[in-house]
Amino acid sequence: MINQKKSKGGTQIFRRLKPFVFSHVTEFKGALVEIIRKPLSSFVTISLIGISIGLPSIFVIIGENFLSGLDRIDQSVKINVFLEEGISISEGLALSREIQNQLDVSMVRFISSEEAIKEFQKQTNLSEILFTLDQNPLPHVVEVVPISFEPINVSILVASLNDRNGVESASTNLNWLERLYGVFSIIKSVGIVFAVTFFVGLILVVAHTIGAAIHNKAEEINLMLLLGATSSFIRRPFLYLGFWYGLGGGLFANIITQISLLSLANGVERLAQSYQSSFSLDRGGSEIVFLILLTGVSLGIMGAFLGLLKKMGEINPKRISYS
């Protein structure tokens, strides 16, 4: 008996939901048919949405690639830590181990004064001058490779190394790194500015398109209102229309983005190889594809709602509710 009651209850719920679901599916398909029925105007709208999402996406992805790629530079930033005069090799090695244990340090190399003078002789033509000196003028050096190559983090690490006992000075040339970060930060910022500007523009484009569709069906909407249709029932097909425009725009944006990044990838890899780097352009994979699609759909629905807000009120402001 209990199972029979549960079965009857489930059947009743299904019967009640069936017309509701069928109505949504019909309107969902109808919105797609509406777009297919006007291929030229639909293509123009979808391509505008695609370009508006695709262009800033390219800038942001490239900026992110190079900013994250700086952490994989083969010829890493090295901080030269010059030890005080009188520090022995054993003390220098102990200090190197202490520095290696820091969380912000990736790798450490201890160079004794003897090794330093040998490297100096190999790299310069001044070896004869060194032999005239009574003692080795070069101190022990600890080469430190940081984990993060962001200029602010490198600066903090240099300051902490300078404060250590036994350290004469710690320094690195951050100018080139700061300039490099500056360039790619600008590229990423330009992408974000473009994104905000274009996204506002495409919301207005979708709003105008939906507004035109509402205007063309003004008489039909008034008739439906007279027959007792709810405002949500009337709004639904136009929101689905915005969804399809957004989805189509997102797909178009993904095509633009992936083709553009693919065409840039070979050139970037060749340039990286000329600098003995294994850097390659990351096109983002499925996460970026999904994010662009989600952006397109969200902006399409937002544009549709804006168009509804404006035009529906103009058609019959007393009968339309947005609650």
Q: What percent of the chain has pLDDT over 70?
A: 69
Contact 245, 306 (CB under 8 A): no
Q: Give the integer Cα–Cα distance in Å for 288 and 269.
A: 21
Q: What percent of the chain has pLDDT over 90?
A: 5
More confident residue, 118 or 41: 41
Give the pLDDT band of residue 117 (cuts 50, 70, 90).
Answer: low
- Rounded average pLDDT over 269-279: 63
Interior angle at CA 246, CA 240 and CA 252, nearest 5:
140
**What is this structure's pTM?**
0.59
Say what the pLDDT of residue 96 is: 87
Angle between helices 285-315 and 175-216 (to 10 degrees): 40
Give the pLDDT band of residue 15 (cuts 50, 70, 90).
Answer: low
Contact 50, 245 (CB under 8 A): no
Give the pLDDT band of residue 247 (cuts 50, 70, 90).
Answer: very high
Which residue is listed with tokens 């004469």? 168
Q: Average model confidence (pLDDT) for the chain?
A: 75
Say what the pLDDT of residue 6 is: 46
More confident residue, 72 or 106: 106
Give the pLDDT band of residue 225 (cuts 50, 70, 90).
Answer: low
Give the pLDDT band of residue 316 (cuts 50, 70, 90).
Answer: low
Interior angle at CA 11, CA 10 and CA 16, nearest 5:
100
Give the pLDDT band of residue 277 (cuts 50, 70, 90).
Answer: low
Contact 119, 142 (CB under 8 A): no
Give the pLDDT band of residue 251 (cuts 50, 70, 90).
Answer: very high
Question: What is the CB-side half-sphere exposure of residue 318 using CA atoms within 13 A?
Answer: 2
Q: Give the integer Cα–Cα distance in Å for 97 and 87.
A: 15
Contact 150, 179 (CB under 8 A): no
Say what the pLDDT of residue 10 is: 47
Say what the pLDDT of residue 321 is: 47
Res. 208: pLDDT tops 60: yes
Contact 42, 36 (CB under 8 A): yes
pLDDT tens, position by position, 65-101: 776 665 555 445 688 888 888 788 888 888 888 888 8
Contact 51, 299 (CB under 8 A): no
Q: Give the integer Cα–Cα distance in Å for 102 and 107.
A: 10
Helices (H), the chain: 2-37, 39-69, 89-100, 113-123, 127-131, 151-162, 175-216, 218-226, 231-274, 285-315
Task: Give the chain's domains with CATH numbers.
Answer: 30-70+181-315 (no CATH), 78-173 (3.30.70.3040)
Say what the pLDDT of residue 133 is: 47
At 109, is the secondary structure helix, strand, or coil? strand
Say what the pLDDT of residue 294 is: 92
Res. 137: pLDDT tops 60: no
